[in-house]
Amino acid sequence: MPEPTENATTLGHPPIKPRTAPTRLRRRPAAIITRLGAVVLLAVVAGCGSAAASPGGGGLEKTHLTVAVLPATDDAPFWLALKDGYFRHEGLTVTPKLVAQSTLAVPEMVHGSVDVIGGGNYVSFFQAQARGALNIRVIAPAGSCTSDDFAVVALPSSRITSPAGLAGKTIAVGLTHSISTLTVNEMLAANNVSAASVHYAAVPYPDILAALKKGDVAAASLVEPFLSEAEVSAGAQVILPQCQGPTAGLPLSGYFATAAWVHANPRTARAFAAAIERGQALADNDRAAVEKILPTYIRGSAGITAVVNLNAYPTSLDAVLIQRVANLMLSGGLLAKRLAVAPLLFR
C-alpha cells in the first residue's frame, strides 16, 4: 500500500449506506495509510497483544516480538491475529509499535529494538535493498490492490474529466517515489499521457482534500478511506484508477525484517508468518471482521467502513507477482538495474 506521512482525521459525517455506483464496486479489505495521531486502540486489542506466549514457545529463538505497524487497512490482518490469539497460538507475545510511516521504523529494525515492520510498501524497501542501504527479507504479504481502492481523483471545479486532463497538473501523493507514483505513472502511460508531464506534491493524506478544495493541487492519488471520503463529502470524481491494466492486482506491501534477523530467528519468523497468514485468510474472506476491527485503530473510520473499497489479502508470498513490482520499478526508472525478488522472500 502507499505510504502517507500523516494520520486519518475524524471523517466528520454520520454513518452512510454502502454506495452502489456501478463504476466502483465494494471490494475486499485493503490498503490505506494514516498518521500515528489517528490511532484509537481498544483495550481488548492491546490486551491480546501483550498476553503471555504459550509455554516453551515451541523452541522459538525469540518469543517476545516488537512489530512496527501502520494504522492502515493493509495491517488489518495483524490486528485480527492479535485479537484472535493467532500469535499466542504460535508461541509469540507480540507488542505493536504504531508508526506514522513504515520507513520511520527502519533505524529501530536495524538496531534491533523493532523485530518486524508490517505494511511497508514494496517500492520503498526494494529501493533501499537495491541501494545497499538495507538487506531485507519479506516474511509475509500484506495488501494487494483491487480495481477500485486506489485512484487519482479531482473535484468537479477542476474541470479535469479524463486522464489527458492531468497533463501538466500537480497531483498530491502521500509520499513521492513510492507505490503511489509508480502506479500513477504506469496508468498515465497506459492512457497515452506522459508521466513526465505531471508534478507530484507530497501532502499528508488527511490534508489532501483541503488542498484540493483550496486549489493547491489539481488532483490527488488517494487510498481508502480517504478515497471514499473525498467522493462522499466533496463529490470528487475518479479520473485515473491506479490498479487496472498493467497494475491490476499489484502487490502493495508486506512484512519486513532484516536478513540477519531472519537468519538468527528462522523458527520465530516461520511462526510469525503462520499467524499473519491466518489473519490474512480471515481478512480476505470476512469483510465484516475487517469492518469491525478498523475502528479500533483508525479513528473516524466507523462511519465509512461499509462503503470503503478494500484490498485483497494474499495468504502466501508469490515471487512471480511480487517481481512485477520490481519490474515496473525498473521500467519506471525507480531502479537502476533489475532486482530479483525471489531471494528476498522468506520460505
String of DSSP letters for 70-92: -SSGGGHHHHHHHHTTHHHHTT-
Q: Which of 13-22, 92-101, 246-255, 328-337 is predicted with the least confidence, judged by mean pLDDT?
A: 13-22
Q: How confident is residue 58, by pLDDT bands cut at 50, 70 and 90? A: low
Topology of the domain comprising 150-247: D-Maltodextrin-Binding Protein; domain 2 (3.40.190)
Amino acid identity, position 108: E
Measured in whole angstroms, the distance separating CA 19 from the mean position of its chain's CA atoms is: 23
What pLDDT is attached to residue 295? 83
What pLDDT is attached to residue 102? 84
Amino acid identity, position 99: V
Q: How far apart are CA 319 and CA 76, in angstroms?
A: 23
Asked whether the whole model's pTM tops 0.85, one would answer: no
Measured in whole angstroms, the distance separating CA 96 from the mean position of its chain's CA atoms is: 16
What pLDDT is attached to residue 300? 61
Q: How far apart are CA 168 and CA 186, in angstroms?
A: 16
What pLDDT is attached to residue 317? 97
Residue 263, classed as helix, strand or coil, is helix
- Over residues 27-48, the pLDDT tens digits come to 433 333 333 333 333 333 333 4
- Over residues 229-242, the pLDDT tens digits come to 889 889 999 999 99
Checking if the pLDDT of 23 tops 60, the result is: no
Region 92-115: mean pLDDT is: 92
What pLDDT is attached to residue 21? 36
Query: Do residues 173 and 202 make contact, with C-beta atoms less than 8 angstroms apart?
Result: yes
What pLDDT is attached to residue 310? 86
Q: 251 has which bridge partners?
A: 144
**Rounded alpha-carbon distances, angstroms, from residue 217 to 4, 74, 201, 221, 237:** 16, 26, 8, 11, 15
Query: Do residues 243 and 278 make contact, with C-beta atoms less than 8 angstroms apart?
Result: no
Count other C-beta atoms under 10 Å from residue 345's C-beta. Answer: 18
Query: Do residues 306 and 232 make contact, with C-beta atoms less than 8 angstroms apart?
Result: no
Residue extent(s) of CATH 3.40.190.10 domains in the chain: 36-145+250-344, 150-247
- By the 10 Å C-beta count (0-12 exposed, 13-18 middle, 19+ buried), 37 is classed as middle
Query: Do residues 138 and 346 make contact, with C-beta atoms less than 8 angstroms apart?
Result: yes
Count other C-beta atoms under 10 Å from residue 206's C-beta. Answer: 21
User: What's the CATH code, domain 36-145+250-344?
Assistant: 3.40.190.10
Query: To the nearest whole number, what is the mean pLDDT of the chain?
Result: 84
φ/ψ of 294, rounded to 5, equals -55, -45
Tell me the percentage of the chain whose pLDDT exceeds 90: 64
What pLDDT is attached to residue 68? 96
Region 188-199: mean pLDDT is: 96
Phi-psi region of 120 (alpha: psi -120 to 50; beta: other; left: phi over 0): beta
What pLDDT is attached to residue 282? 97
